[in-house]
Structure 1
Amino acid sequence: MKKLISTLFIIFIFFSCQDDWLEEKRSLSLVVPSTLKDMRLLLNNSFLFTNDGLSFCDISADDYYITDEVFAAAPTAIQRNLYLWEKDIYQGRTDIEDWNTAYEQIFTANVILDGLARINPSESQQNEYNSIKGGALFFRGKAMFCLAQEFAGAYIPEKANSQPGIPIRLSPDIDAPVSRSTLQQTYDQIVSDLSIATDLLGDIPESKTDASKPAALGWLARSFLSMGNYDKALECTERYLDITNLLMDYNDLDQERRYPFSLFNDEVISHSVVTSIYQIGFRPRALVKEQIFESYKEGDLRKDLFFIINEDGTVGFRGHYTGQNRYFTGIATDEMYLIKSECQIRTGNVQDGLKSLNTLLKTRYVTGQYENKENLSQKEALDFVLRERRKELLFRGLRWMDLRRLNLDPEYAVTLTREIEGMIYKLEPGDKRYVFPIPENVIASSGMEQNPR
């Protein structure tokens, strides 16, 4: 165990830019994480924990399209294969970033939790102990959620106990046997980790890259929404909004800035971004379909703040909550209002659902130009909130999750299409390619079941 943990610390020393960390950990005799300070240093590795393994979701979803030229210039075959929903994505490659990133986060969280189990905190240490434990559970839970969106199927309650989930790792022992859990076990563990984290974490994070109670509630709300558990998702959003409910007034933003939204803006409670390795060729030249761009009505400030018209008349996206051209995948308050509204409407509380949505949308329109929606039927209200969710949460790493869950309802199922070099490619609702293959080296070494394609 000492050798294993020492290796982990050496990895983090290599990536860390903190001089005091480097100085303190130079001797191998000092690298066993046995103190709360050690655990905190591991937890504070924002280089690791702010990257969400959702690039496969992002490339494969329909938030954007690319030209033939951009497709041909993609740096890796994996990018091209994901874009066209090919069955053989990896073509023999085993270094799969989305898988590796998430399990590195899980492994690090397990090292921290294992170390904490060996510490008997004093009264003065208890708050720090709880904060570190809550943080480790938070990062482990959200890493498992990201894995479930890519490497396991959509959650169907009556089938979840028989569907394969992901391998659940709760120990830092790399020699422990590896097998796939059921989908129900996967989501039970995600919910357990994030729920315990909400009880341990504080309301206000020291940094927006840190874990916090509302951050955990946000990822819980996402999890329950993907499970179709609208009562629980609603409860999470209400608890979140009791802590923080601040929305930016888009009237106050500068449309002349290249990227109008600043890093760590007022709506962001938990900052994270999509894993970047597979995105290099696509992100700068990703184009938005005309029907999406034209769905924003007169007076909707998002049309100006989210998009940029290129010289050739095509539309690009610039509305990232990162202050740059990097996809934001973290938790922000606008998403919580949308989840709250959808869940209120789905559970029969239509008028309150519309009020929640109106609260958000009036901050997105030119002052005085938004007209509150009222007295809609449940179907009309649900259609409305799902349209607004599509418009508000572009390029957030959420569209793939939404496609998977909404495709379970024929009323909202869609067929995705791409056109490259005159060829049309399609992804039908419920297609097996909505689940990505587990890396072949993992299958070979563990013998676990592969996802069919």
Structure 2
Amino acid sequence: MKTRIYYTLLVCCVFSLFSSCKKFLEVEPKGKVILKTLTDYDLLLNSQNLTSSGEQLLNQMSDDLDIPTVDPMTRTTTILSYVWSNDLNPTVNESPLVWGKHYANIYAFNAVINGVEQATTGTPKEKKKLKAEALVGRAFEYLYLVNLYARTYNAATANTDLAVPFIISTDIMNKTPERSVVNFIYGKIIDDINAAIPDLPANNNTNKFRGSVNAAYSILARTYYYMNNFTEAAKYADLALKEPGTGLMDYNPVATKADIPNMPINKQEIYARYGTNPASVVLPTVEFLKMFDKNDLRLKLYYTKLGDFTFPTRGVSQFSPNGSAVSFGTSVAEMKLIIAEAAARANNLQLALDQMNDIRKFRTATAAYQPFQSSDKEVVLQRVLLERRFELAFKGMRWMDMRKLDAENRMPAVNRLNAKGDIISTLEPHSPKYVLKIPAAVLNFNPDMPQN
């Protein structure tokens, strides 16, 4: 009988994660990574693997992306995710995509959480800081997992809806915990971040990949947002924006995308995270492109081959951000849009408009800018949601937003079309495909784990 140990599935991921750190980590015995000094733990938190949390496949599943040349018979992960296949990992011999990456990062964060206080160097304060950063990082990983492998948060069912195992150990011989329920995972995310805040630095302005108080607040804001607790979401979004080193960038004087600062020092970012495959070609749907006003500066900076803005042909324009990849983490714009949406839902329309227009005036050519105005609650809410779609495009957020909107009966059916325009796949409202299947390789080692 196969040993029912999930961590076995992470071995290759963990070795890959630590391979980027092998220059500073002593390995004894061979094949086992030993973290000893405070510097070891600090550098681990800077490793490229740990700063890559966003999954590019989430963009493939969104309704904003198109693959005009799609061949549904091609069984690549790109195509499987694009047509919302029942299983992104249909065989037990494949490394578990999405799931495996997040749990590999969790394993590393657990190594810091469980071990840094025993480091041979460093002060107690320095050790607590790194542990706090790891708690924030682990919480961010679980926020992805609960929004991918569980049903959308519903207060009425959150205590029974299955989510994912909550793993805190680094002992690879431990048996996998059972799948926790949604409310438990969200509770742990919130508890861990609140426990971390007293030991975090006030900001991370010199390295947006690292944890800080304002980064913690921003993750709490996103957490409460996906819990539909808009009051708490707006509160923490506002706290995240209190840091004076953050702010929106006016795109009007920006000549080219190369002039936009890179992610680690960009004042618009709060908690920066790379995507897993930043070099992927991203083709927006023509329907999405036509939603933009032609005076929207994001078109000029982030999209190519715009022509006369009529977009008559699929697959011509590309999403092409500045030299470095876009951040899948939290941002100033996301926080302002959370505040705006919370205000719109509470019928505080002026606050919603002010927050949204703060963004629009920096994203629209000055000569063409007009503040958006309306006294209709639903019109304002829809405009805020559209602005969220523009600002967070291809940052891994749209799929989770689609799930949330679907639960509110705000998502229509989404069709995938081949080159001839024939429908080859449809994501129906309230489809079970909005919840990802547990990878086959995971179930192979954990046969008692319930499948979605």
1:60-79 equivalences in 2 (<5 Å): 60-68=61-69, 71=71, 77-79=76-78
Aligned partner of residue 246 in structure 1, secondary structure = coil
The Cα offsets for residues 71-121 of structure 1, whole Å up to 9 and x where unpaired, read as: 4797x5222221111224323143023111111111111111111354799
Alignment check: 8 A CA contact 1:50 1:272 kept: yes
Looking at structure 2, the residues matched to 53 and 366 of structure 1 have their Cα atoms a distance apart, in angstroms, of 30
The amino acid of 2:370's aligned partner reads E
The Cα offsets for residues 342-389 of structure 1, whole Å up to 9 and x where unpaired, read as: 112223322112111111111111125322234522222111101111
Alignment check: 8 A CA contact 2:88 2:439 kept: no
Looking at structure 1, the residues matched to 20 and 290 of structure 2 have their Cα atoms a distance apart, in angstroms, of 44
Match of 1:37 among 14, 36, 39: 39
Gaps of 5+ in 1: none
1:123-272 equivalences in 2 (<5 Å): 125-178=123-176, 179-205=178-204, 206-244=206-244, 245-255=246-256, 261-264=260-263, 265-272=266-273
The amino acid of 1:16's aligned partner reads C
> Residue in 2 aligned with 1:328?
327
TM-score when normalising by structure 1? 0.86
Q: Which moved more, 1:108-117 or 1:443-452?
A: 443-452
Looking at structure 2, the residues matched to 142 and 428 of structure 1 have their Cα atoms a distance apart, in angstroms, of 29
More helix by share: 1
Aligned partner of residue 294 in structure 1, secondary structure = helix
Aligned partner of residue 309 in structure 1, secondary structure = coil
1:11 shift after superposition: 6.0
Alignment check: 8 A CA contact 1:351 1:375 kept: no
Alignment check: 8 A CA contact 2:152 2:403 kept: yes
Alignment check: 8 A CA contact 1:180 1:448 kept: no
Looking at structure 2, the residues matched to 11 and 394 of structure 1 have their Cα atoms a distance apart, in angstroms, of 29
Distance 1:340 1:110, change over 3 A: same
> Residue in 1 aligned with 2:301?
305
TM-score when normalising by structure 2? 0.86
> Residue in 1 aligned with 2:21?
16
**1:295 and 2:291 matched:** yes
1:440-451 equivalences in 2 (<5 Å): 440-451=440-451
> Residue in 1 aligned with 2:436?
436
1:64 shift after superposition: 1.1
CA RMSD of aligned residues (A): 2.9
Looking at structure 2, the residues matched to 271 and 135 of structure 1 have their Cα atoms a distance apart, in angstroms, of 13
The Cα offsets for residues 189-218 of structure 1, whole Å up to 9 and x where unpaired, read as: 122222323332112224122222222222
Looking at structure 1, the residues matched to 12 and 62 of structure 2 have their Cα atoms a distance apart, in angstroms, of 37
Distance 1:28 1:424, change over 3 A: closer
Distance 1:118 1:126, change over 3 A: closer
Distance 1:219 1:189, change over 3 A: same
Gaps of 5+ in 2: 1-7
Looking at structure 1, the residues matched to 73 and 451 of structure 2 have their Cα atoms a distance apart, in angstroms, of 29
Distance 1:448 1:146, change over 3 A: farther
Aligned partner of residue 97 in structure 1, secondary structure = coil
Bigger RCO (CA 8 Å, 6+ sep): 2
**1:51 and 2:52 matched:** yes
Looking at structure 2, the residues matched to 241 and 151 of structure 1 have their Cα atoms a distance apart, in angstroms, of 30
1:31 shift after superposition: 5.8
Q: Which moved more, 1:401-410 or 1:195-204?
A: 195-204
Determine what percentage of the aligned residue pairs are the same residue.
Answer: 26
**1:426 and 2:431 matched:** no
1:396 shift after superposition: 0.9
Distance 1:204 1:161, change over 3 A: same
Alignment check: 8 A CA contact 2:283 2:319 kept: no
> Residue in 2 aligned with 1:100?
100
Looking at structure 1, the residues matched to 84 and 33 of structure 2 have their Cα atoms a distance apart, in angstroms, of 44
The amino acid of 1:95's aligned partner reads S
